[in-house]
Amino acid sequence: MKFPVSPLICGVHPPPISEVKGWLAAANPQLPLIDLCQAIPDYPPPRELTDHLAQVMLDPLTSRYSIDEGLPEVREAVCSGYRRLYGARINPDQLCLTIGASQALWLAMVTLCRAGDEVIVQLPAYFDHPMALAVLGIRCVFAPFDEATGGLPDLAAISRLITAKTRAILLVTPSNPTGAVIPPDTIRELYRLAASRNVALVLDETYNSFITGGVRPHDLFEDPSWSDHFVHIASFGKTFALTGYRAGMLAASEQFIQHALKAQDTMAVCQPRVTQHAVKYGFDNLVEWVARNRVMMERRHEVFRAEFAKGDNAFTLVASGPFFGWVRHPLEGVTGRQVAKRLVEEMGILLLPGEVFGPGLERYLRLAFGNIREETIPEAVQRFRDFRI
Ligand SMILES: Cc1ncc(COP(=O)(O)O)c(C=O)c1O
């Protein structure tokens, strides 16, 4: 390539999962690999769903576009699911089905911001968020990470970061990478803060089906005026084990969705119809299946925590929750990347270094233990104990 490309994209680091997978060539050949790198359910969607989709594929309509926001009956099914989980006062015109939560984030950001605007992002941040903001020329203003709170947001700190250029406060709950679940009261206070400063509270709730006990993640949706200052991002990829189907959603006010649809039309036109049918089937039929998988994930979390806390472990579990453990490594002055590389090469463990989740996080590592079966967890944690410091 001889022509110049955008300096904004040049400034963004390569996708972290690809970078880390590139280290696999040097993995310890003596040990079976334990992959704690990417947060994907290790189980497939249920057979009844794929059988249903096999029938859907026979309908010629399935190969066509749908309307940009998605089929009305699919959005209605999502609304019913949201009434169950959130007690949501929501209607299908407040939804746009998207190509994963990833595209929902893009829709939200291009609708909210111009280049040069600011978005407050809590550290540690899900790496794709700062990457997307950087490509769009939106300034990412990081709210600092506090180990003592396990990465939960500090309202006073966030409040101090709001300027005339701020358009949104962007948070992930349950968090990727820490697993921390923001308590409903804090979410309510964040909403009040956003409202008082007239900015949007944007919550990426990709892991909302995995909160311990299946409790209501927050009560914002119960308020008939939730959409005044709230924008919600969801992924059904994790919920129904359909990450490859690219199933996500943006929920916001009707007015916001109408604007977002202009970008949707140029980006994706619509979520693939087959994915939409999968989402509808999931909301209509898989409530129990989702709950069973949540319980299984809770059990993995408990086993992981118990194993990690057993003596003689130089790594410290700073925070954990659905899918993730956020760990401080013991090597002062050594980056997360260096430790992560050694963990692949010496211990056959693949994970992500802390610094991909934002500046100043070199002392940490992210473990996606949700990927591995319960019986593998003790062996995985033992390898941390066996690591030579
Ligand atoms: C916090 C968070 N948001 C968004 C995504 C992307 O989700 P999707 O696959 O639905 O685009 C992920 C995937 O790991 C995630 O962890």
At residue 319, the pLDDT reads: 97
Which residue's CA is minimally distant from atom 14 of ligand 1? 39
Give the residue from 262, 288, 314 where a domain finishes. Answer: 288
Q: Give domain status of residue 1, yes or no.
A: no
pLDDT-derived band at 70 (thresholds 50, 70, 90) equals very high
Is any ligand 1 atom within 6 A of the Cβ of residue 98? no
Q: Give domain status of residue 155, yes or no.
A: yes
Which residue's CA is minimally distant from atom 10 of ligand 1? 100
Q: Which domain holds residue 109?
A: 47-288
**Average pLDDT of span 158-176:** 98
Instruction: State the closest ligand 1 atom to the C-alpha of 235, by its place in the atom list counted from 1.
Output: 10
Q: Are residues 242 and 335 in the same domain?
A: no
Checking if the pLDDT of 155 tops 90, the result is yes
Share of the chain above pLDDT 90, in %: 94
- How many structural domains compose the chain? 2
Of 384, 237, 211, the residue nearest 301 (C-alpha): 211
| Structure-token pair, residue 99 | 């190509």
Checking if the pLDDT of 28 tops 90, the result is no
Q: Are residues 217 and 318 in the same domain?
A: no
At residue 146, the pLDDT reads: 94
pLDDT-derived band at 303 (thresholds 50, 70, 90) equals very high
pLDDT-derived band at 159 (thresholds 50, 70, 90) equals very high
Rounded to whole angstroms, the Cα distance separating 364 from 192 reads 32
Q: Are residues 26 and 134 in the same domain?
A: no
Question: DSSP assignment, residue 144?
Answer: P
Q: Are residues 283 and 322 in the same domain?
A: no
Q: Give domain status of residue 96, yes or no.
A: yes
Give the residue from 288, 316, 340 where a domain finishes. Answer: 288
Is any ligand 1 atom within 6 A of the Cβ of residue 39? yes
Rounded to whole angstroms, the Cα distance separating 123 from 145 reads 5
Residue 333 contacts residue 368 (beta carbons within 8 Å): no
Residue 287 parent element (H or E): helix 287-309
Give the type of residue at 317.
Answer: L
Q: Are residues 226 and 302 in the same domain?
A: no
Give the residue from 254, 288, 322 where a domain finishes. Answer: 288
Residue 232's DSSP bridge partners are 203, 251
Of 382, 344, 379, the residue nearest 28 (C-alpha): 344
Q: Are residues 281 and 376 in the same domain?
A: no
Residue 374: CATH number of its domain? 3.90.1150.10
Q: Are residues 228 and 279 in the same domain?
A: yes
The contacts of residue 295 (CB under 8 Å, 6+ apart) are none
Residue 369 contacts residue 380 (beta carbons within 8 Å): yes
Please compute, for residue 319, the number of CA atoms within 13 A of its CA located in the half-sphere on the CB side. Answer: 24
Q: Are residues 167 and 118 in the same domain?
A: yes
Checking if the pLDDT of 134 tops 90, the result is yes
Q: Are residues 235 and 104 in the same domain?
A: yes
Checking if the pLDDT of 38 tops 90, the result is no
At residue 39, the pLDDT reads: 87
Is any ligand 1 atom within 6 A of the Cβ of residue 126? yes
Checking if the pLDDT of 177 tops 90, the result is yes
Share of the chain above pLDDT 70, in %: 100
Rounded to whole angstroms, the Cα distance separating 344 from 350 reads 5
Indicate the pairing of strand 95-99 with strand 247-251: antiparallel
Q: Are residues 253 and 156 in the same domain?
A: yes
pLDDT-derived band at 142 (thresholds 50, 70, 90) equals very high
Q: Give domain status of residue 265, yes or no.
A: yes
Which residue's CA is minimally distant from atom 2 of ligand 1? 206
Rounded to whole angstroms, the Cα distance separating 189 from 191 reads 5
Q: Give domain status of residue 2, yes or no.
A: no
Please compute, for residue 367, the number of CA atoms within 13 A of its CA located in the half-sphere on the CB side. Answer: 29
254 alpha carbon – ligand 1 mean position (Å): 24
**Average pLDDT of span 353-370:** 96
Checking if the pLDDT of 370 tops 90, the result is no
76 alpha carbon – ligand 1 mean position (Å): 23
Of 104, 101, 134, the residue nearest 119 (C-alpha): 134
| Interval 203-227: pLDDT, tens | 999 999 999 999 999 999 999 999 9
Question: DSSP assignment, residue 368?
Answer: E
Checking if the pLDDT of 295 tops 90, the result is yes
Is any ligand 1 atom within 6 A of the Cβ of residue 179? no
Q: Are residues 284 and 310 in the same domain?
A: no
Residue 350 contacts residue 36 (beta carbons within 8 Å): yes
**Average pLDDT of span 56-84:** 98
At residue 78, the pLDDT reads: 98
Which residue's CA is minimally distant from atom 16 of ligand 1? 176
Checking if the pLDDT of 311 tops 90, the result is no
Checking if the pLDDT of 346 tops 90, the result is yes
3-state secondary structure at position 263: helix
Q: Are residues 245 and 168 in the same domain?
A: yes
